[in-house]
Structure 1
Amino acid sequence: MTSSSFDLVLLQETKLHNITPFKLASFLPASLANFVHLDAVGTSGGILTAWNNNLLRLKNSVIKDRSVSVQFECCSSNLTFWATNVYGPNAEIDRDSFFQEIIDLQPTISGPWIIAGDFNSVRSADDRNTGRVTVTETQRFNEWLHDLQVQELPLLDRNFTWSNMQSTPILTRIDRVFFNAEWNAALPNSRLHTLPRSTSDHFPLNVDASTQIPKSGLF
């Protein structure tokens, strides 16, 4: 499965700067020619949201330090929704500012909303095959979700989404999708599953939100 199968793609850790349409065409299909990008810092980070303009219309966008939020209208159904694409910090000391960034975004949001991407954090010991977590990490993450009043879209086919690719691997669940009450009301049958992994150390995720929203992938 490749990005050519999708009409909305959310990429994290692009490690790219100043993306042009020509550059975008070198790694995404021509149908995904419309995009919003947060540049990498040095060789770290970078967030890209790209979509098929024949199926989705851009209504609004907000770019922050660790997130790209885009409001779309579906051409076929006139359904309007927000998609926030995130790449969370690795360092625990930076997580509070990341969580606050999304909290501060909330007043801007109206209607269905998903928050998706690489959070670089876990919710419980079950999210690491080693079982090693800190109470601070898991508690702050879960408190933040409670404050946002969002639910997690369950991953149906896999316990972990990232591997360090070693012979005795460390496995974690750091790639996630969350949704608000309006999303659940509009798209109650949304499903999340993984796609085949190629060279990445992450398993790509696919959000199936029924025929109302074009195919969406997180890579």
Structure 2
Amino acid sequence: MLAQPVNFLCWNVRGLNCPGRRATVHEMIVSTTCHIVCLQETKLDDVDQFGASSLGGHRLRNFAQRPALGTRGGILVLWDEATIGLSNVSISEFCLSADVQIQACGTTFKLTTVYGPTTSSRKDDFFAELLTHKPVAGVKWVVMGDFNQIYKARDKNKRNVNLSRINRFRAALNLCELREIHLQNRRFTWSNERQNPTLCKLDSIFCNDEWDIHFGTHILHALSSSLSDHCPLLLAEDSGPRRPRTFKFENFWASIPGFQDVVKEAWHHDSGHFEPCQNLFHKLKRTGACLSKWSRTLFSQAKIHFRAALMVILRLDVAQETRELSAGEIQLRARLKRRVIGLAVIERSRKKQCSRIRI
């Protein structure tokens, strides 16, 4: 087990060119507390510091990008500088690679995130380009992204597969000495979301033996597809992402009715201590706990609806892998996908209110 676990989120977001979509992606990132986020198909020809911060929050403000060509493609990598450092970023037509160092222990590895071509004529160019990113022997390497290509026939729910291209992709992976990290809870990662859907495993994470040995406790799970037709992939240590448990005072609390009553009741509670420092510590701790509990009662409703919508979308995504969804279920999923954008906008506006940023 690593002294400082590093967790990854990989997702084809199908565009970040509207505030509602960016807010939804931000909420997904925050809910996982990942240290590295790899986004594909951003459809943005440029991302600035403000745009990166709006997605990754205060932790994942550092970024590297492969700009989109107009509104096609685009790769964005966000990371937590307090946990890891990225250097030697190299960008090619389909890939973005960088050397990663974990700050706490000094462990290094190479990260490559990809967005494969959709056109058949460019597949072989992509396979050849992936091979150029292969590091020298002994270097740990992990590759993740939307490959837009399967490497096993069973990674598609229909039989119209190109076996020749599958074999060429598999040969490229063998030359790169990459093996797939098994996805625990899903067979497929993409759906065209029709009545009789086509399902494929287009999004994957591969690694070489050196990376697999060193990060052997990491497990890959699929999350709710949310606003995209691709599901996010969460590669995290088996104990799960660590969530910080710190009290944060929100300035807007003071303007909400009931705030002063909560503070007075908590502050005047008998601590049972007579030593001034211990008494002050108890009062501050109790006041913080009461304010946190009070705040959750104010804003938990939107969060509960947001998480519930994501869970139902995930269940429908899994169900369509074994049966056809009914017309009602397809309509429900479409409504929920619109709903999560609205709920994410509500959460985003709350956070903007309690921040010092004015947009």
Shared fold, TM over 0.5: yes
- 2:190 aligned with 1:162: yes
Q: Does 1:89 align with 2:117?
A: yes
- Whole-Å separation in 2 of the counterparts to 1:101 and 1:108: 16
1:34–1:108 distance in 2 versus 1, CA, 3 Å: farther
- Taking the aligned partners of 2:189 and 2:57, their CA distance within structure 1 comes to 25
What is residue 119 of structure 1 aligned with on the other side? 147
From 30, 34, 47, give the equivalent of 1:19. 47
Q: CA RMSD for the aligned pairs?
A: 1.9
Counterpart AA for 1:182:
E
**Measured at CA, do residues 94 and 109 of structure 1 come closer, stay the same or move farther in structure 2, by a change above 3 Å?**
farther
2:209 matches 1:181 = yes
How far is 1:197 from its partner? Answer: 2.1
Find out whether 1:59 has 2:87 as its counterpart: yes
Q: Which amino acid in the other structure matches residue 161 of structure 1?
A: T
Gapped regions of structure 2 (runs ≥ 5): 1-26, 244-359
Does the alignment pair 1:101 with 2:129? yes
Moved over 3 A (4+): 107-110
Higher strand share: 1
- For residues 55-111 of structure 1, what are the alpha-carbon distances to aligned partners after superposition, in whole Å with 9 as ceiling and x for unaligned? 011232111111111111111121111110000011121011111112112246862
Alpha-carbon offset, residue 27 of structure 1: 2.7
Report the TM-score, using the length of structure 2 for normalisation: 0.57
Q: Name the SS of the counterpart of 1:169 in structure 2.
A: coil
Cα offset, 1:30, TM superposition: 2.0
Indicate which of 38, 46, 50 corresponds to 1:10.
Answer: 38
Contact 1:194 1:203 in 2 (8 A): yes
Which structure has the greater CA radius of gyration?
2
How many residues matched? 214
Higher relative contact order (CA 8 A, sep 6+): 1
Determine if contact 1:83/1:115 at 8 Å carries over to the other structure.
yes
Does 34-43 or 122-131 show the bigger shift? 122-131
Q: What is the aligned counterpart of 2:157 among 102, 108, 129? A: 129
Identity of aligned residues (%): 34
2:223 is aligned with what amino acid?
A: L
Deviates more, 1:47-56 or 1:57-66: 57-66
1:133-186 C-alpha deviation (Å, 9 max, x unpaired): 012221111111111111110111100000111122111100001001210221
* Structure 2 residue matching 1:139: 3-state secondary structure: helix
Matched residue of 1:126: which SS?
Answer: helix
Q: Measure, in 2, the Cα distance between the counterparts of 1:214 and 1:116.
A: 22
Q: CA deviation at 1:38?
A: 0.3
Pairing partner for 1:206 from 217, 224, 234: 234
List runs of 5+ in structure 1 lacking aligned partners: none
- Matched residue, 2:105: 77
Using structure 1 for the length normalisation, give the TM-score.
0.91
Which residue of 56, 63, 68 corresponds with 1:40?
68
What one-letter code is carried by the residue in structure 1 that aligns with 2:142?
A: I
State the alpha-carbon separation in 1 of the partners of residues 132 and 242 from structure 2.
28
Hey, what's the Cα distance between the residues in 1 that align with 2:189 and 2:213?
Answer: 27
